[in-house]
Amino acid sequence: MAEIVEQSDIKPDIDEDLSEEKVQDTPEFNLKNIKKINQLFASQVKVSVAPLIKMADMEISGMEIKVKLTEQQDSLLGELKIDWQTYLRNSFKDKNVKLNIIIHENQAIQRQAYTASEQFTELMNENEEFRNLVQTLKLRLKN
Protein backbone atom coordinates (compact mmCIF):
# COMPACT_ATOMS: atom_id res chain seq x y z
CA MET A 1 0.00 0.00 0.00
CA ALA A 2 1.47 3.34 -1.06
CA GLU A 3 0.83 6.59 0.70
CA ILE A 4 0.13 9.67 -1.35
CA VAL A 5 2.20 12.62 -0.25
CA GLU A 6 1.61 16.19 -1.35
CA GLN A 7 4.51 18.16 -2.78
CA SER A 8 4.44 20.61 0.17
CA ASP A 9 5.08 17.74 2.62
CA ILE A 10 8.37 16.82 0.94
CA LYS A 11 11.34 18.69 2.43
CA PRO A 12 14.52 18.60 0.45
CA ASP A 13 17.75 17.79 2.29
CA ILE A 14 19.19 21.20 1.39
CA ASP A 15 16.57 23.05 3.47
CA GLU A 16 17.49 21.01 6.55
CA ASP A 17 21.15 21.95 6.17
CA LEU A 18 20.25 25.62 5.77
CA SER A 19 18.10 25.61 8.88
CA GLU A 20 21.02 24.15 10.86
CA GLU A 21 23.31 26.89 9.54
CA LYS A 22 20.85 29.55 10.64
CA VAL A 23 20.97 28.18 14.16
CA GLN A 24 24.77 28.14 14.09
CA ASP A 25 24.98 31.76 12.83
CA THR A 26 24.67 32.95 16.43
CA PRO A 27 27.62 31.53 18.36
CA GLU A 28 27.23 30.25 21.89
CA PHE A 29 28.22 32.83 24.53
CA ASN A 30 31.40 31.34 25.95
CA LEU A 31 35.03 32.38 26.41
CA LYS A 32 36.25 30.47 23.35
CA ASN A 33 33.80 32.23 21.03
CA ILE A 34 34.46 35.60 22.64
CA LYS A 35 38.16 35.19 21.89
CA LYS A 36 37.39 34.27 18.27
CA ILE A 37 35.17 37.34 17.90
CA ASN A 38 37.86 39.51 19.51
CA GLN A 39 40.34 38.21 16.92
CA LEU A 40 37.98 39.29 14.14
CA PHE A 41 37.42 42.70 15.73
CA ALA A 42 41.17 43.19 16.27
CA SER A 43 41.80 42.57 12.57
CA GLN A 44 39.60 45.59 11.78
CA VAL A 45 41.19 48.12 14.16
CA LYS A 46 44.48 50.01 14.35
CA VAL A 47 47.57 47.84 14.45
CA SER A 48 48.70 49.41 17.74
CA VAL A 49 45.67 48.18 19.74
CA ALA A 50 45.03 44.88 17.94
CA PRO A 51 47.37 42.80 20.17
CA LEU A 52 45.79 44.35 23.26
CA ILE A 53 42.34 43.17 22.18
CA LYS A 54 43.57 39.73 21.10
CA MET A 55 45.47 39.05 24.33
CA ALA A 56 43.08 40.68 26.82
CA ASP A 57 42.62 38.89 30.14
CA MET A 58 38.88 38.14 30.36
CA GLU A 59 36.25 36.54 32.57
CA ILE A 60 32.56 35.93 31.95
CA SER A 61 29.87 36.66 34.50
CA GLY A 62 26.38 36.12 33.08
CA MET A 63 26.23 38.25 29.93
CA GLU A 64 29.05 40.48 31.16
CA ILE A 65 32.59 40.23 29.81
CA LYS A 66 35.11 41.53 32.34
CA VAL A 67 38.36 42.70 30.74
CA LYS A 68 41.33 43.44 33.01
CA LEU A 69 43.55 46.30 31.80
CA THR A 70 46.07 48.77 33.16
CA GLU A 71 45.32 52.49 33.06
CA GLN A 72 47.70 52.88 30.13
CA GLN A 73 45.97 50.13 28.14
CA ASP A 74 42.57 51.61 28.94
CA SER A 75 43.60 55.05 27.70
CA LEU A 76 45.09 53.48 24.58
CA LEU A 77 41.75 51.86 23.75
CA GLY A 78 39.83 55.09 24.38
CA GLU A 79 36.55 55.33 22.45
CA LEU A 80 37.24 52.00 20.74
CA LYS A 81 35.67 50.26 23.77
CA ILE A 82 32.22 51.37 22.58
CA ASP A 83 32.83 49.89 19.12
CA TRP A 84 34.21 46.72 20.71
CA GLN A 85 31.07 46.24 22.83
CA THR A 86 28.83 46.94 19.81
CA TYR A 87 30.77 44.38 17.76
CA LEU A 88 30.34 41.77 20.52
CA ARG A 89 26.61 42.51 20.81
CA ASN A 90 26.12 42.22 17.05
CA SER A 91 28.17 39.01 16.86
CA PHE A 92 26.17 37.30 19.61
CA LYS A 93 22.93 38.99 18.46
CA ASP A 94 22.18 39.95 22.05
CA LYS A 95 21.81 43.51 23.34
CA ASN A 96 22.46 42.31 26.91
CA VAL A 97 26.16 41.61 26.26
CA LYS A 98 28.20 44.10 28.29
CA LEU A 99 31.91 44.85 28.12
CA ASN A 100 33.18 45.84 31.56
CA ILE A 101 36.73 47.23 31.75
CA ILE A 102 38.40 46.64 35.10
CA ILE A 103 41.45 48.82 35.81
CA HIS A 104 44.28 47.22 37.79
CA GLU A 105 45.97 50.19 39.42
CA ASN A 106 48.28 48.01 41.50
CA GLN A 107 49.54 46.11 38.49
CA ALA A 108 53.17 47.06 38.17
CA ILE A 109 54.55 47.67 34.74
CA GLN A 110 57.69 45.60 34.42
CA ARG A 111 60.60 47.42 32.93
CA GLN A 112 63.01 45.41 30.83
CA ALA A 113 66.75 45.90 31.35
CA TYR A 114 68.40 45.98 27.92
CA THR A 115 71.80 47.60 28.27
CA ALA A 116 74.68 46.21 30.31
CA SER A 117 74.51 49.09 32.78
CA GLU A 118 70.74 48.57 33.28
CA GLN A 119 71.28 44.85 33.84
CA PHE A 120 74.13 45.55 36.27
CA THR A 121 72.00 48.03 38.25
CA GLU A 122 69.06 45.63 38.31
CA LEU A 123 71.22 42.80 39.64
CA MET A 124 72.65 45.13 42.30
CA ASN A 125 69.14 46.05 43.45
CA GLU A 126 67.73 42.53 43.42
CA ASN A 127 70.57 40.34 44.64
CA GLU A 128 72.25 41.11 47.96
CA GLU A 129 75.04 38.56 47.43
CA PHE A 130 75.91 40.11 44.07
CA ARG A 131 75.87 43.57 45.64
CA ASN A 132 78.29 42.38 48.41
CA LEU A 133 80.58 40.78 45.83
CA VAL A 134 80.71 43.97 43.75
CA GLN A 135 81.47 46.07 46.84
CA THR A 136 84.11 43.65 48.13
CA LEU A 137 85.94 43.38 44.81
CA LYS A 138 85.21 47.02 43.88
CA LEU A 139 83.85 45.99 40.49
CA ARG A 140 82.69 48.50 37.91
CA LEU A 141 81.41 48.30 34.36
CA LYS A 142 83.70 49.30 31.53
CA ASN A 143 82.43 52.20 29.45
Structure confidence by residue, pLDDT tens digits, 41-50? 999 998 888 8
**Residue 70: predicted pLDDT:** 86
Cβ within 8 Å of residue 37, ≥6 positions away: 27, 87, 88, 91, 92
What is the pLDDT averaged over residues 34-41? 93
Structure confidence by residue, pLDDT tens digits, 55-91? 888 999 999 999 998 888 888 898 899 999 999 999 9
- CA–CA gap between residue 52 and residue 89 (Å, rounded): 19
pTM exceeds cut of 0.95: no
The domains found in the chain, sorted by start residue, are 18-103 (3.30.300), 111-143 (no CATH)
What are the DSSP calls for 39-60, one per residue? HHHHTTS-TTTHHHHHT-EEEE
Q: How confident is the model at residue 118 (pLDDT cuts 50, 70, 90)?
A: confident
CA-to-CA separations, 57 to 62, 95, 100, 127, in angstroms, rounded: 17, 22, 12, 32
